[in-house]
Amino acid sequence: MRNGKAHNMGLGSINVVSLAEARLAANDAKKQLHHNIDPLTEKQKQNPRSNSPSFKEGAAKYIDIHRPTWKSVKHVNQWTNTMRDYAEPVIGSMSLAVIHRDHIIRILEPIWLEKAETVSRVRGRIEKILDWAAVEGHRSGENPARWRGNLEHSLPSRVATQRVIHHSSLPYVDLPAFYARLIKEEGMAAKALRFLILTAARTSEVRFAIPQEFDFKSKLWIIPADRMKAGKEHRVPLTKPALALAQDNLASSLYVFSPFPTKSMSENAMLALLKRMSMSHITVHGFRSTFRDWAAEKTDSPRNVIEGALAHSNPNQVEAAYLRTDMLVKRQTLMNSWSKFCLVSQ
């Protein structure tokens, strides 16, 4: 009812719009009426975008556009799966033009406190898709998935309810004895884990290492930017034991540390090895923490040298802007000391 007259407004085809979506749309119309806004007029304003694709279609298009620039098939699948599992049940069939913050809140609220990392990625990905939709002319106005100045006022802070969960790691004092045991283990997973420990690298960096990344003359492992978490090329100084491990496996596979001719080692191969060694209380990634603790307590290396060895980005943007070197010489000294420590029991 408006000005004493009844008006009818369709909410969409029953074959396209779910009951839950229809209820949201009806509630939106009631809110507009409450604020003396004619929902039919507002709907007519959107007619130029009435042929706007659905969110599901828009998300698929966005993923296809950016697929070539993303690091791996796994990253593409993560985008596809999070949109399918969390966003599409609420807004998948809705036109990109009509999605607003109430819809976004409805997506995020159920997992806001329980799945912190997931919900952060879901929100960010929806924001990027809606930004793309605006640039393409499929919608107008503010991005309803924007955090600052928008959703931050409607969702509770997770800071007070979350605790940081660290990867379980081996105390550095126990590392030499463990490494001595590891040397006696047979198989490619054991060699890969030894190399990972000696270089303080990430699992994926070791699994997908190829011969072309190694400069044995300069004693360097040069990991290209598209394989690094920070998206920046990383030069790893190689000690004698690390060099030997890499050289021993150059002809065995497309990948340096793989038992298969043309595919990489399983993602869980090194973790399975730890379980076989009755070390299931620690994680593969935790060896980076072991290295970090050792370097902080047993060496005089500056923090930025240690963080550089771990390929961590410098959080101080001003410092990062002026510090152009990767401190390779200092990191070489640090990694030599680390190698000697790991092999002290030999």
pLDDT tens, residue by residue, 305-337: 999 999 986 555 544 444 556 789 999 999 999
Task: Report the CATH architecture of 46-153.
Answer: Orthogonal Bundle (1.10)
Q: Residue ranges of the alpha helices (H) in 14-72?
A: 19-34, 39-45, 55-66
Sequence-ordered list of residues with C-beta below 8 angstroms from that of 20, at least 6 positions apart, any chain: 90
pLDDT tier at 167 (50, 70, 90 boundaries)?
Answer: low
How much is the pLDDT for 325? 64
Which range of 115-124, 226-235, 263-272 scores highest in mean pLDDT? It is: 263-272
Instruction: Average the pLDDT over 66-92 and give the result.
Output: 89
User: Does position 124 have pLDDT exceeding 50, yes or no?
Assistant: yes
Q: Which strand ranges, in their side-by-side order, compose the sheet holding 234-237? A: 214-215, 220-223, 234-237
Sequence-ordered list of residues with C-beta below 8 angstroms from that of 175, at least 6 positions apart, any chain: 197, 290, 294, 341, 342
pLDDT tier at 227 (50, 70, 90 boundaries)?
Answer: confident
How much is the pLDDT for 21? 86
Q: Kindly state the helix (H) or strand (E) to which residue 234 belongs, with its residue range.
A: strand 234-237
Rounded Cα gap, residues 178 and 278, in angstroms: 11
Higher model confidence: residue 4 or residue 145?
Answer: 145
Residue type, 201: A
State what percent of residues in the chain have pLDDT above 90: 55
Do 46-153 and 172-342 share a fold? no
CATH topology of domain 172-342: hpI Integrase; Chain A (1.10.443)
How much is the pLDDT for 69? 84
Instruction: Average the pLDDT over 269-291 and give the result.
Output: 95
Domain residue extents for the chain: 46-153, 172-342
At 189, list the tokens: 């997973």
User: Does position 160 have pLDDT exceeding 60, yes or no?
Assistant: no
How much is the pLDDT for 230? 79
